[in-house]
Amino acid sequence: MAAFHLSTFAQNDKVINFLFPVKTDGIENKVTSVFGESRGDHFHNGMDIASTGEPVLAMAEGKILYSRFGEDDPFGEEFGTGNSVWLDHGNGTYSSYYHLKDGRLPGLLDERLIGAGEKIAYTGNTGHSSGAHLHFVLLKDFGKTIQDPMRVLPEVEDETPPVIGNLLIHQDEYKYSQVNDGDNINISRSFPVTVGIQDAGKKSGQRRGVSQIQVSLNGQLLKKASFSNLHYEKGEWKNQEGFPFTDLYYKDQYLVGNLDFRNGENTIKVLAWDFRQNLTEKTFTFYVNRIR
């Protein structure tokens, strides 16, 4: 049995107005993961909305590019994406929808145009999923660029800025020391330094990532990185400024850098913006005793 149906088309540079793929009450409380977060060894390439059994809607007009459901190969290993549908919106722009409920909708693979907001599936918990939700992805340049959906979707209410946690100095893969403002530390060489940053938004307790970070050491800019899109270059995905995953994350924390602190007073300043551009900044001033 065929597991997919493939079709492409062009739209002659038509402007695409994207809709949220789940029409649900309290969307501001159900966006559980955002674009560019750490997933251990790779970027989170889309956006997650907590939902179960609700209609999944086409984000814009398009044709079916690809569709795979468990019914296509009931004895095969389930993909991590679970049941999925991809739409082609023209001019190299695609959207994809993962972890869908079992059961492809009748007529989904017919050769026809899917309307914006048309039902294409139901939210589920198939594939590698720890809870019922829709993971959806927005791609450009025929899949060579992945875009933050928040850049083109209707605004989600959020006036709560991110929370910046503590600095960590990682001595090895499993051992680290926490650095607080005003601490005195002994150090012998350079070590990876990370900072925890989380954005709860409207729902207290959520641990979402942020859309932009900036860090400086002793007044000198170390890194400015954003998560508006990812592009594929030389065998790996990189962010807008050209940073690969390993330059932005370490142990699921944001990587400040492999730092060699000077003897005496050191200051690290961290700025973080969420997807609604709410800003938080935090300064750590600590004192270093260089050990030879």
Please write the tens of the pLDDT for every residue from 17-70.
Answer: 899 999 888 999 999 999 999 999 999 999 999 999 999 999 999 999 999 999
Task: Tell me: do 124 and 51 sit in the same domain.
Answer: yes
In a domain, 213, yes or no: yes
Same domain, 78 and 175: no
**CB contact at 8 A, 215 and 269:** yes
Are 280 and 161 a contacting pair, CB within 8 Å? yes
Instruction: Answer yes or no: is 2 within a domain.
Output: no
How far is the C-alpha of 142 from the C-alpha of 174, rounded, in Å? 40
For 245-287, how does the pLDDT look when each residue is reduced to its tens digit (9 = 90+)? 999 999 999 999 999 999 999 999 999 999 999 999 999 999 9
171 and 282 co-located in one domain: yes
Is residue 157 a part of any domain in this protein?
no
pTM for the whole thing?
A: 0.91
Q: Give kind and range of the element (H or E) at residue 27.
A: helix 27-30
Same domain, 91 and 136: yes
Mean pLDDT, the chain, integer: 93
Q: Is residue 17 part of a domain?
A: no
Work out the burial of residue 22: count CB atoms within 10 Å of its CB; fewer than 13 is exposed, 13-18 middle, 19 or more buried: buried
Kindly report, residue by residue over 184-208, the tens digit of the pLDDT: 999 999 999 999 999 998 888 889 9
β 249-250/253-259 pair status? antiparallel
pLDDT in tens, 135-178: 999 999 999 999 999 999 999 999 999 999 999 999 988 999 99
CA distance 239 to 230: 5
Q: Residue 60 belongs to a domain with what CATH number? A: 2.70.70.10
Tokens of 13: 């540079």
Work out how many domains the chain is built from and give that number: 2
Report the CATH number that the domain containing residue 173 is assigned in CATH: 2.60.40.10
Whether pLDDT at 243 is above 60:
yes
What whole-number distance in Å separates Cα of residue 80 and Cα of residue 56? 19
Q: Are 179 and 187 in contact (CB under 8 A)?
A: no
Which domain, by its residues, includes 99? 27-151
- pLDDT number for residue 263: 95
d(CA 11, CA 6): 17
Pair (124, 206) in one structural domain: no
DSSP, collapsed to helix, strand or coil, labels residue 274 as coil
**Looking at the structure, do residues 215 and 246 belong to the same domain, yes or no?**
yes
Give the pairing of strands 279-290 and 184-187.
Answer: parallel
Q: Distance (Å, rounded) from C-alpha 83 to C-alpha 152?
A: 25
Q: Above 70 in pLDDT, residue 94?
A: yes
Same domain, 43 and 130: yes
Whether 213 and 276 map to the same domain: the answer is yes
